[in-house]
A and B are shown apart, each in its own frame.
Chain A
């Protein structure tokens, strides 16, 4: 584990966010075979903030998440988590252990494990090989799993195989896995894709309740959903920020209208 990640766990447990922002993305550039997926992107996420990111297909939303979580390395630019953690120097697991959790677009849970085991595996803690061989859940951890099961509405089927869950339930289980990871920053990619309206409302409720304690970044296509949760919306277009503000401001922005309606 890198130095930064160590400091984080040994000390206060919070990334040094004495300045208000917890995530700094500055002048990021990424191109794939000449295609500029991310183009001079600057983005700041505040502590406890719930931010929605929208944008047409190919705007660079997923690539941005890939950079934050260490899956893709940018050609240039900086990505800092708090004041001290340079995300570009860490591997995916190091970033995860530093406190950034990610939910994928397509729900990805460990299908052959039970719901409770999925949470156990995601649980915040020592994730080394030798530790895992002897690891047992503590009472406190059991309670935490129990609590999370209630939060995500799966408390009646802890032993159900995750692969047999419905699509919406998988989405929630994945959010639950994020929660037990105890991240400071949650990146949530299209959380309501394929959900019914009821499920959507519950998800909105859940995400809103998380903000404050965690910073949450949501990438979503569904405008009604974005409107129902967002305080601040960032519009990405061709790899950089096109507009930022409240939903109403953004929707009335002439450039945004052009991009979305092609006028």
Chain B
């Protein structure tokens, strides 16, 4: 009963059904393959599990961007900021978990604070020793920032390119701020040297598998939530705003409210993705705020296909897999390749891979009808 109502938003969403089915199989299969003995032909090394888990968090981030870009028409070039904030919230929890096992052995202060000669924990680090508090902050920090940012910009009716530029400036400003040691977030080095999460060692295979499965669940949950939104009247209003904003106003909708809530929700999803990313890669630093990162997310979504949600997942997974392969083979060529990919997709596949699949299906159906 609960399951059917949860899966209801998938009705008519063929791409999503396939995507979630693959995800479910992966969530089952990957742990099994990992547990096979090391010499076995099908054994999957743990680093691979973690790599896949990282891809899944990227995919969730892409879904969040697709919701605001594909459905609401806001090209956010700063979603990496929300991802990073979620990551920092998780990182702060993981720092507190180190306890007195740090290099300086201070039970209260993380290493970088001892190094800076700080005597006590800054107030904004309070509470992060509790997991539930950190989890709340993972969503609240990006959410509150997005709400305030959205409230200010959408009410002033900043749209289009100008809005994109401001989102870019937002993430850039945060990057500069987080680089400063005085901010209290580890400055240049960020937060790292994590030991365990909820008492489980981050180095253990079982923890890594658990994080992978948690990422899969988060992605599935985020996907279903977004589908629920876009198939509701709220989603139809959202698309109406994208296509004819002033018409939507004259029909009686408070466009600003809709934009703020969708933007905030999307930022919270990005925060969750960031929080799952950090324990898997083992570090969070200000580089995550880099404008380049945010632009890359947009490229994943464009390549996968906007306004489909599953396209965003597809794009994120494929591009990141390609990135892993190509940075291994030819480290210098990756950015050129990414740029070329973006140009090709924009010129020849404006609907991305999802659009290409739709076209192929139509051609096949058309061909059959003719024959």
Contacts and interface: CB of A to CB of B under 8 A. Distances in A.
Decide if the interface of chain B is mainly helix, strand, loop or mixed: helix
Contacts, number: 78
Interface stretch (B76-84, B179-187, B254-262, B348-356): B254-262
B234 A93 contact: no
Contacts of B243: 110-112
Given A102-B250, A127-B252, A133 B236 contact: no
B240 A121 contact: yes
B327 interface: no
A16 interface: no
A133 B232 contact: yes
A127 B237 CA distance: 9
Interface residues of A, number: 29
Interface string A113-134: 1000100111000011100111
B247 A93 contact: no
A91 B249 CA distance: 9
A71 B254 CA distance: 13
Contacts of A132: 232-234, 237, 258
Contacts of A101: 250
A71 B247 CA distance: 11
Given A92-B249, A177-B251, A129 B234 contact: yes
A89 B232 CA distance: 32
B239 A112 contact: yes
A121 B229 CA distance: 15
Contacts of A113: 236, 239-240
B244 interface: yes
Contacts of A120: 233, 236
A122 B252 CA distance: 8
Given A108-B244, A110-B247, A133 B252 contact: no
Interface string B273-292: 00000000000000000000
A234 interface: no
A171 interface: no
Contacts of B229: 133
B47 interface: no
Given A129-B257, A129-B258, A93 B249 contact: yes
A177 B232 CA distance: 19
A117 B236 contact: yes
Nearest to A187: B250
B253 interface: yes
A132 B250 CA distance: 17
Contacts of A71: 246
Given A110-B239, A112-B239, A128 B257 contact: yes
A64 B244 CA distance: 21
Contact of A121 (B233, B254, B257): B233
A177 B251 CA distance: 8
Contacts of B255: 93
Given A110-B240, A129-B261, A135 B232 contact: yes
A152 interface: no
The 3 closest A-B pairs by CB, nearest first: A96-B252, A132-B234, A92-B249
Interface of B: 229, 232-234, 236-237, 239-240, 243-244, 246-255, 257-258, 261
Interface of A: 69, 71, 91-93, 96-97, 101-102, 104, 108-113, 117, 120-122, 127-129, 132-135, 177, 181
20 contacts: A92-B250, A93-B253, A93-B254, A96-B250, A97-B252, A101-B250, A108-B246, A110-B236, A110-B243, A110-B244, A111-B243, A112-B239, A120-B236, A121-B237, A121-B251, A127-B251, A129-B254, A133-B234, A181-B251, A181-B252
